Amino acid sequence: MMDFKISALITGGMLLASAIPALAQDSYCGGLSMNATWLGGDAASSDISTAGTFLGQTGLTVPPSGNLVTLFSLSAPGDVRVEAAGQADGDTVMELYDAAGTMVLTDDDSGGNWASRAETTLQPGQYCMLTRGFGGGALLADVRVGLMEHEALTQGLSGGFGGGFDGGMFVGIDPCLPGTAAMPLGGGPIDGMLASGAPGVSATNSVMGAPYYRFTLASPQSISIRAENENADPYIYIFDGQGTLLAENDDYDSLNSRIDFTAPLQPGNYCIGMRSLSDDNMPITISVRGYDAQAALNEAYASGEASPPMDGSYPMTALGPVTTSVVRDGQVSAATATWFSFNMPQSGLLVIDAVSVTDSDPVISLFDSLGREIGYNDDADGSLNSQLTLRLDAGNYTLAVRQYTDSYNGIIRVAMQRFVPAQ
């Protein structure tokens, strides 16, 4: 449970450092509210309809692989803005639930700078705002709820909001309920299109043209869902037939999104929700394919997400021992990472630079001999070049070098310098 002693209550821009928010005693939102805190400090002060200004808390702890839940209420219908922002560049994900436990909306980055933000019309009642770290990371978060005329916590995307699915306020994405209009994928159950080597089912539309897609499984199936067009920067969600969020993803492969269900999904109806973090009018190809474990592993190697074995079964340039320095040039793409293996003869400091020679935006990832990622960098020192500086033990390592997006396909220079402790 979070340590409320480090939290502070914000009302009308005033910081009340001594305020300790009260824990909820009643069960709302399907039980989410138990041991959660009221945004206004207590239940009576957390009615945003009558508060007169925004309500918020700052510096609350979001535990690793856990959730922070805060509460507020409305005594009258209103247009409401809910926001969550991680401190020190933390990446928040936000979900809003009504008193019955139904998800009202979810959002990741609509606040700008990894913050979450959504604006929608809410009816009277109690609401639970759930905040977590993207990928299950721990962080300190500031949360705020206010009416539209109240001061915002976040900057929003592109300087403002508007033009969402409801024609007015931006709401991230609404859950896909049984009555939500959605484009069908396949004319019935898609099981026969998911066999190994089969192309699956796909469709290409803009988010404005088709924000939701439905498909049906007649038997348990392991599947891979993908949304592709880096220029549109798609974000995808998958819901079950009742509108429960099962998974979400942004930027799995560069700016494209992907969700893999390695354990079979059970027979039933499913819905994919999609939005664009760049341009709602750009075409995005959404596809559902059968999940192939070996193909997924090869794709992870190609994208630099996982390290291949150093047994010669995957293409890799062996640099040998790094005694003082090593330099290599090569043409690199975003679709297929270039892999290097090397050896640290003894413990010491290693500096790795990946520098653009022509038409490049390098990204580098470093892995130890067990395949654990121990270093990652993109855009060091205010440039598009990458750099890692690490103290490494003696042993074998692998390095993945790739381009940030498909718009780059030039030559990257990789340089390694090893420094040993003074004798």
> Residue 277 above 90 pLDDT?
no
> Residue 115 above 80 pLDDT?
yes
> Residue 385 above 70 pLDDT?
yes
Helix H or strand E segment including 288: strand 283-290
Cα distances from 114 to residues 45, 51, 156, 271, 309, in angstroms, run 29, 28, 10, 26, 34
The predicted model gives 2-21 an average pLDDT of 42
Q: pLDDT tens for residues 358-383?
A: 999 999 999 999 999 999 998 888 89
Q: Which residue has the tokens 């959660």?
A: 36
**DSSP letter assigned to residue 211:** S
Q: Which residue has the tokens 């042993």?
A: 395
Q: How confident is the model at residue 384 (pLDDT cuts 50, 70, 90)?
A: very high
Task: Transcribe 328-360 into DSSP letters.
Answer: EEEE--SSS-EEEEEEESSSEEEEEEEEEEES-
Domains in the chain, start-ordered, CATH in brackets?
4-147 (2.60.120.380), 183-291 (2.60.120.380), 307-419 (2.60.120.380)
**In this structure, what token pair is assigned to residue 207?**
């988010």
Residue 157 is predicted with a pLDDT of 62
The larger pLDDT score, comparing residue 161 to residue 271, is at 271
* Entry pTM: 0.55
- Are 387 and 356 spatial neighbours (Cβ–Cβ below 8 Å)? no
- Are 127 and 72 spatial neighbours (Cβ–Cβ below 8 Å)? yes
- Are 127 and 97 spatial neighbours (Cβ–Cβ below 8 Å)? yes
The larger pLDDT score, comparing residue 120 to residue 82, is at 82
Q: How confident is the model at residue 406 (pLDDT cuts 50, 70, 90)?
A: confident
Q: pLDDT tens for residues 175-230?
A: 888 999 999 999 899 999 998 778 899 999 999 999 999 999 999 999 999 999 98
